[in-house]
């Protein structure tokens, strides 16, 4: 089906846009430059892998050094030093006062990220001092974004830090303009790709079978079908000009919202504006779905298990799935969150497949011969190796020993997920700082992205409901019975 | 910032920035705290916090509730492993088997 995608058109468009100086997450020209660099292993892609890998190693060592706790659990030495502003209701100062270590922790995160990315910048042969100057403001804006996202009402409606980081950056770039001294620290690609390498550690394949066969069918069979069908619909029926925008919206809507959008955008070298647009649409629809779906499920008299699995498979954002599931009950919450967790794990496979498809099909000129291994290697987004390797290593660690789950959970919960959150936050601040409102509006031309999202999500709702009904009502009704038990 | 930017453009930009920041401050410091203080909203957010649910979670690892939910699911799987894999297996027969073995 996708074989007949208009490859020539796409390749021409990518090349022409690269010449016009637009801003892909990692455009074709910069990828070619990576391959021809005198130091190819210190390109931005590889630097993300090295920084991410080094940070993961430090996080693992911090748990090993602390040793097993008396209760048999594990904890990281870094835990008190890696923080973000907390939640608050009526006084924003509470975001910094809720834990005694918030302010020292913020300073520690600032220092660690400055050293880590500064090292990468130095390895790429760029000015560390210029980066450091600008990074102070970028990090400060990240704190503001977390502060805005931490307000209880904002949090309740799943309006996450990614959105506010983008808004804060846009507010500056579209009013007073991004100061020149900040620009060296506006490193969207480096922040996103390093964050994705850290996210790889959270993609644990051991959790894939948590719901047995019903879970696999709902999360790993329906999701790729919806993703491919939505992409095909966008290319063939709507004829969306940008295949990268089409892919990012399709992945965002079918897999797991913001995290899937980030991973696929980087894998297919989408433009920053396309990622912003996809995330904005996804968050808007998520707010509606997390309120509407529990009401529809209750009104239709659907069981909590079927309703929970349906929401888990269709609502984009992980947190919104849990909140919607909780509205129905503990059993619905459990099924919804577990289905979404299994879908979360799919993003590793999706990002890898999208990167391969883009290199082999979309970027290929119609008159060019099939690319050889060297060409494929040259074009392939290298950070994907870091992402996949982190997922593989942590999955192995998780399953290799009886203590594996507790050890890996300590590494992730006490350190890597906080850093990953910060890197994505800094990436969205950076996107905002280099995006023009007018550029965003151009991508929405004709409303095609909206139509794509609505049609794709409608198909997703129907197919997921059918699969959930088949799995939990017809094929494995006993699984639903077991899940209802306390 | 472009050096060619005219003074009036910059002033317009600065005014827009200050106005936007003022709106953000008004919404976050007055409107949202007022909404958060409504009993219904307060009860809902408190219930979510109590259950370890962050509606803005990006990934499953961001959900505090996940270990609890996974532990519950693991217990259910241990008790009836066939339920999630074997087509035609029935809970009634498992219960009967449990009773017989006692």
* Alpha carbon distance A24, A266 (integer Å): 9
pLDDT value of position A14 = 42
DSSP label of B58: S
pLDDT value of position A82 = 94
Residues 249-278 of A with CB under 8 A from B: 256-259
Under DSSP, is residue B33 helix (H, G, I), strand (E, B) or coil? helix
In Å, how far from its chain's centre is CA A183?
A: 24
pLDDT value of position A473 = 93
Mind telling me how many Å the CA of A120 is from chain B's nearest CA?
A: 26
If you average pLDDT over residues B16-43, what whole number do you get? 95
Total of domains in chain B:
1
CB contact under 8 A, A318 and B63: yes
Confirm whether B40 is domain-assigned. Answer: no
| Residue numbers of the domain that contains B91 | 56-102
Confirm whether B33 is domain-assigned. Answer: no
CB contact under 8 A, A155 and B54: yes
Nearest CA in chain A to B35: A153
A159: which chain B residues are within 8 Å (Cβ-Cβ)?
56
DSSP label of B67: H
A351 touches chain B (CB under 8 A): no
A367 touches chain B (CB under 8 A): no
Domain ranges within chain A, ordered by starting residue = 2-484
pLDDT value of position A10 = 45
A205 touches chain B (CB under 8 A): no
* Alpha carbon distance A143, A426 (integer Å): 9
pLDDT value of position A37 = 44
By Cβ distance, the residue of A171, A340, A478 closest to B91 is A478
Asked if A465 and A315 count as a contact pair (C-beta separation under 8 A), the reply is no
Confirm whether B63 is domain-assigned. Answer: yes
CB contact under 8 A, A211 and B85: no
CB contact under 8 A, A153 and B77: no
CB contact under 8 A, B44 and A158: no
Q: Which of B98, B74, B69, B92 is nearest to A478 (CA)?
A: B92
Mutation test of the interface with chain A: which of B56, B64, B97, choosing the one with the most A Cβ atoms within 10 A? B56
* Alpha carbon distance A208, B83 (integer Å): 16
CB contact under 8 A, A475 and B2: no
pLDDT value of position A28 = 34
If you average pLDDT over residues B62-84, what whole number do you get? 91
CB contact under 8 A, A158 and B79: no
The end-to-end CA distance of chain A, in Å, is 45
By Cβ distance, the residue of B49, B60, B76 closest to A318 is B60
pLDDT tens series, chain A, 486 aa: 223 333 444 444 444 444 343 445 544 333 323 433 446 778 889 999 999 999 999 999 999 999 899 988 999 999 999 999 999 999 999 999 877 788 999 999 999 999 999 999 999 999 999 999 999 999 999 999 999 999 999 999 888 899 999 999 999 999 999 999 999 999 999 999 999 999 999 999 989 989 999 999 999 999 999 999 999 999 999 999 999 999 999 999 999 899 999 999 999 999 999 999 999 999 999 999 999 999 999 999 999 999 999 999 999 999 999 999 999 999 999 999 999 999 999 999 999 999 999 998 888 777 777 777 887 888 889 899 999 999 999 999 999 888 999 999 999 999 999 999 999 999 999 999 998 888 778 887 789 999 999 999 999 999 999 999 999 999 999 999 999 876
């Amino acid at each position: 089906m996708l074989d007949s995608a208009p490859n020539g058109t796409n390749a021409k468009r990518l090349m022409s846009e690269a010449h016009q100086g637009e801003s892909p997450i990692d455009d074709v020209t910069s990828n070619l430059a990576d391959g021809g660099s005198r130091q190819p292993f210190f390109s931005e892609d590889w630097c993300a892998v090295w920084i991410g890998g080094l940070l993961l190693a430090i996080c693992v060592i911090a748990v090993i050094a602390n040793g097993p706790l008396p209760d048999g659990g594990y904890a990281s030495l870094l835990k008190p030093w890696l923080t973000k502003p907390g939640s608050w209701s009526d006084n924003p100062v509470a975001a910094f006062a809720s834990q005694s270590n918030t302010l020292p922790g913020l300073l520690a995160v600032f220092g660690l990220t400055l050293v880590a990315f500064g090292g990468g910048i130095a390895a790429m042969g760029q000015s560390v001092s210029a980066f450091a100057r600008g990074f102070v403001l970028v990090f400060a804006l990240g704190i503001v974004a977390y502060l805005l996202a931490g307000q209880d009402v904002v949090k309740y409606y799943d309006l996450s830090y990614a959105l506010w980081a983008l808004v804060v950056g846009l507010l500056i770039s579209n009013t007073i303009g991004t100061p020149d001294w900040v620009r060296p620290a506006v490193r969207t690609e480096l922040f996103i790709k390093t964050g994705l390498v850290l996210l790889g550690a959270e993609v644990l394949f051991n959790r894939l079978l948590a719901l047995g066969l019903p879970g696999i069918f709902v999360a790993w069979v329906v999701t790729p079908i919806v993703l491919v069908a939505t992409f095909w619909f966008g290319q063939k029926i709507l004829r969306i000009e940008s295949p990268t925008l089409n892919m990012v919206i399709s992945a965002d809507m079918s897999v797991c919202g913001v995290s899937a959008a980030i991973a696929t955008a980087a894998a297919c070298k989408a433009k920053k504006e396309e990622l912003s647009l996809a995330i904005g649409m996804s968050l808007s629809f998520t707010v509606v779905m997390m309120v509407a779906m529990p009401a529809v499920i209750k009104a239709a008299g659907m069981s909590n298990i079927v309703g929970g699995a349906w929401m888990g498979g269709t609502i984009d954002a992980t947190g919104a799935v849990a909140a919607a599931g909780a509205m129905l009950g503990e059993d619905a919450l459990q099924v919804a969150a577990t289905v979404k967790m299994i879908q979360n794990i799919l993003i590793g496979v999706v990002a890898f497949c999208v990167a391969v498809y883009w290199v082999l099909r979309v970027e290929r000129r119609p008159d060019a011969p099939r690319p050889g291994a060297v060409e494929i290697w040259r074009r392939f987004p290298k950070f994907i190796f870091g992402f996949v390797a982190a997922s593989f290593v942590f999955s192995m660690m998780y399953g290799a020993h009886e203590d594996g789950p507790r050890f890996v959970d300590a590494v992730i919960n006490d350190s890597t997920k906080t850093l990953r959150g910060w890197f994505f936050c800094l990436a969205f601040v950076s996107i905002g700082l280099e995006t023009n409102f007018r550029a965003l509006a151009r991508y929405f031309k004709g409303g095609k992205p909206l139509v794509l999202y609505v049609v794709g999500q409608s198909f997703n709702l129907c197919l997921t409901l059918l699969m959930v009904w088949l799995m939990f009502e017809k094929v494995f009704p006993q699984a639903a019975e077991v899940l209802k038990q306390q | 910032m472009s050096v060619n930017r005219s003074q009036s453009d910059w002033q317009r930009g600065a005014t827009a920035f200050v106005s936007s920041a003022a709106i953000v401050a008004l919404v976050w410091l007055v409107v949202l705290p007022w909404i958060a203080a409504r009993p219904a909203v307060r009860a809902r957010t408190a219930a979510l916090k109590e259950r370890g649910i962050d509606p803005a979670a990006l990934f499953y690892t961001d959900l505090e509730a996940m270990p609890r939910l996974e532990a519950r699911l693991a217990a259910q799987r241990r008790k009836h492993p066939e339920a999630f894999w074997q087509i035609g297996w029935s809970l009634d027969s498992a219960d009967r088997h449990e009773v017989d073995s006692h």
